[in-house]
Amino acid sequence: MSESTVLVLGSDPPPKLDRLAGRARVIFTDEDSLADRLPTADVLLAWDFTSDAIRRAWPETGPRPRWVHTASAGVDQLLCPALIADDTLVTNARGVFEQPIAEYVAGLVIAMAKDFYGSWELQRQRRWQHRETLRLAGSRAVVVGSGPIGRAIGTTLLALGVKVDLVGRRERRDDPEFGLVHASDALNGLLPQEDWVVCAAPLTEATRGLFDRAAFSRMPPRARFINIGRGPLVVEDALVAALREWRIAAAALDVFEQEPLPSNSPLWDVPHLIVSPHMSGDTLGWRDALAEQFQDNFDQWSAGKPLHNLVDKRLGYVPVR
C-alpha cells in the first residue's frame, strides 16, 4: 500500500505516532479546518474525542476517509446520518478504559458505603463522631450496559461480594460470568431492589434520558446512583430533585449533559452528590495506550486485515460476540 494520509483531529497534547513514520503522512487539524481536509484523508483519528466537529463536517457526497478511529469508548460524538449510511469503517478505543473505570466505580462504591466523605468533613471540623457504615458484601447492584466497561465494573463488584444484575440490550441466559444478562426492558423491575445503580450504557436514541424522574422514583431510598457512561443518559433535573427530596441516598457523576460543567450549574451544590470531571478512565499513561492501540489497528488496516473494535454504526457500539 502506498503512503496513506492520516488526519488527526486535535493535538493537545499530540499523540505519539512514531510507528507511522515512513508509512503515513500525518496531518493535524483543528475543528475549523476539518471540513476542508476530510476529502484528502484516507484515515481520520479523532484524538479530541470530546469534539462534535466530525458530525458537523462529514461530507454528504464525494471523497471522505475510509476509516475513522475515535480515541474513546463512545462514538456518539461523531456518528451522523451521512457517516452511518456510507461505507466508512468506524473503530473505537475498546480495551483501554475498562479496568480503570471499574476501579473508579469500585472506589466510589467503597467511599459511599464507608462514608469517607463524612470522615473527611468531621476531621476538618476536628470532631470525633462514631458512626456505623454499610457492609458491601451481600448488597445488590445493577450495572446498566453489558459491554466491556459494564462487564469490568460487574466483575470488580462481584469480587467485593456485591450481587450484580447486569443489564444489556437483549437477554442472555448462558453468560459465563454473570449467568443471566437481563434485557433492557427488565430494568424497571430491578431498580426497586438495588442498593447500587451504575450506568455504563452507550448513548443511543434508545438510552437517551434513560434515568429520568420515573427511574429515580423506582429506586429505594437507600440506593446510590453512579453514572460513568454519557451525560445525556441522565435527566439531570430529575436527579437533582431525587437527591434534594431524599428519594435516593447519594449519587456520583463523572459525565454531564454539558462539559465542562458550568460554574453556575446546580449540580455543584447538590447534597450527597460527588462530581468528577470526566476522568474515570484516565490513568497515568492512558494517552500512550490510545496511540499504541491506533497504531496496532493501522497495522491491520495497512495489511488489509479486519480492524479491531469495529463499531456497528447503526447500533452505536461494538457488538458483543
Residue with C-alpha cell 513514520?
21
Is 98 an annotated catalytic residue?
no
60 is catalytic: no
List the alpha helices (DSSP H) in the chain.
31-37, 53-57, 81-85, 98-113, 116-124, 148-159, 187-190, 213-218, 236-244, 286-302
φ/ψ region of 145 (left if φ > 0, alpha if ψ in -120 to 50, else beta) reads: left
60, 121, 177, 259: the active-site residue: 259
Please provide the DSSP assignment of 116-136 as one string.
HHHHHHHHHTT----------
* Residue 43 one-letter amino acid: V
Per the residue annotation, which of 37, 94, 230, 236 is the catalytic one?
230
* Of 105, 96, 134, 137, residue with least CA distance to 318: 96
Q: Is 103 exposed, middle or buried (0-12, 13-18, 19+ CB in 10 A)?
A: middle
Grid coordinates in use for 179?
449467568
Q: Which of 278, 287, 292, 308 is catalytic?
A: 278
Please classify residue 252 by burial: count the beta carbons closer than 10 Å to its beta carbon, then call 0-12 exposed, 13-18 middle and 19+ buried.
buried
Q: Computed over its alpha carbons, how large is the radius of gyration of the chain?
A: 21
Show the CA angle centred on residue 239, arms to residues 273 and 204, nearest 5°. 115
- Is 259 one of the annotated active-site residues of the chain? yes
Strands 43-46 and 163-167: unpaired
Active site residues: 230, 259, 278
